[in-house]
């Protein structure tokens, strides 16, 4: 039974958040057939069964928890408040990274994160709908857990294991789990093929882009870069929907861009690299 069309995707996300997360994450399996350069040759990214698959299963479960909580929170919060709570990952990433690395974030990163968060608050206008405490808690928990995954990817993961490899393994495991879930829950309705493709590809690009930036620049910088989607959305609204942004929205977008510029700077991931750079 397919009762969800493209326009009712929100209904599927809210009524079956776990199935939605499992469906979206199963699309990551497409990365398993993408050849990667290994030395001088090209080969598939999947490693043999071993410890890497255990790590992928653990991270995959955490990712499922992130998306399940996020999708469910959309029914208990307005779009503006949901976006605001999700963008609190700027502060969550700074705090979690400090706990993992035992180093306080730099003054520029802290200032940039605060400016970006302020711009987010200014730019977002609440739609006046009702916000529930459980919806806010689910959204904040999801963004905090996602920050932890990004920090693991950028700080703790084996450098030999690429983001694409990790996501490919998560996708294969999720695809197997989806088949089992569909067999056990035959009553669950799923969206059309077009809607499923949109959901899967959008989440694939979101997670691949986010984790790749986190691995390159760090989780806090990735969180600030994600906030740049707000001024971009205003530009798209103006060009495609012919809707004009308010002065407050423009001011908030300016603060978002300013905060990203202030907080973005190249920092070595290893403290020894910083010491070597200072001695050279």
Whether 65 shows a pLDDT value over 90: the answer reads yes
Whether 171 shows a pLDDT value over 70: the answer reads yes
Instruction: Tokens 């450098």: give the residue.
Output: 159
Tell me how far apart the alpha carbons of residues 200 and 171 are, in angstroms, rounded to a whole number: 11
191 vs 234, more confident? 191
Please name the residue ranges forming H helices in 36-187: 51-73, 79-86, 89-101, 107-123, 133-151, 163-184
CB 169 within 8 A of CB 26: no
Cα dihedral 269, 272, 273, 279 sign: positive
For residue 178, the model assigns a pLDDT of: 92
Q: Domain boundaries in the chain? A: 6-279
For residue 159, the model assigns a pLDDT of: 58
Residue 206: beta bridge partners? none
Which residue from 196, 74, 92, 202 is spatially nearest to 141, judged by alpha carbons?
A: 92
Whether 271 shows a pLDDT value over 90: the answer reads no
Query: What is Dmax (Cα atoms) for the chain?
Result: 66
């Amino acid at each position: 039974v397919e009762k969800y069309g493209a326009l009712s995707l929100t209904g599927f996300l809210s009524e079956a958040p776990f199935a939605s997360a499992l469906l979206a994450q199963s699309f990551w399996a497409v990365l398993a057939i993408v050849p990667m350069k290994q030395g001088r040759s090209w080969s598939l990214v999947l490693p043999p069964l071993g410890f890497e698959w255990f790590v992928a299963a653990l991270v995959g479960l955490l990712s499922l928890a992130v998306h399940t909580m996020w999708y469910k929170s959309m029914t208990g919060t307005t779009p503006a408040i949901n976006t605001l709570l999700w963008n609190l990952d700027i502060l969550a990433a700074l705090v979690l990274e400090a706990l993992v690395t035992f180093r306080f974030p730099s003054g520029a990163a802290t200032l940039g994160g605060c400016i970006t968060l302020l711009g987010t608050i200014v730019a977002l206008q609440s739609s006046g709908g009702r916000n529930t405490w459980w919806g806010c808690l689910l959204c904040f928990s999801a963004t905090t857990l996602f920050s932890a995954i990004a920090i693991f990817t950028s700080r703790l993961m084996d450098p030999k294991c690429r983001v694409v490899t990790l996501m490919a393994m998560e996708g294969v495991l999720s695809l197997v789990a989806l088949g089992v879930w569909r067999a056990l829950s035959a009553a669950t309705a799923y969206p059309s093929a077009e809607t499923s493709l949109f959901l899967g590809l959008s989440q694939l690009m979101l997670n691949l882009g986010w984790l790749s930036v986190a691995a390159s620049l760090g989780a806090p910088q990735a969180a600030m870069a994600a906030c740049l989607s707000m001024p971009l959305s205003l530009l798209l609204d103006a060009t495609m929907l012919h809707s004009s942004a308010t002065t407050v929205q423009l001011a908030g977008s300016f603060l978002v861009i300013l905060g990203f510029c202030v907080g973005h700077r190249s920092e070595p991931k290893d403290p020894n690299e910083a010491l070597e750079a200072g001695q050279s």
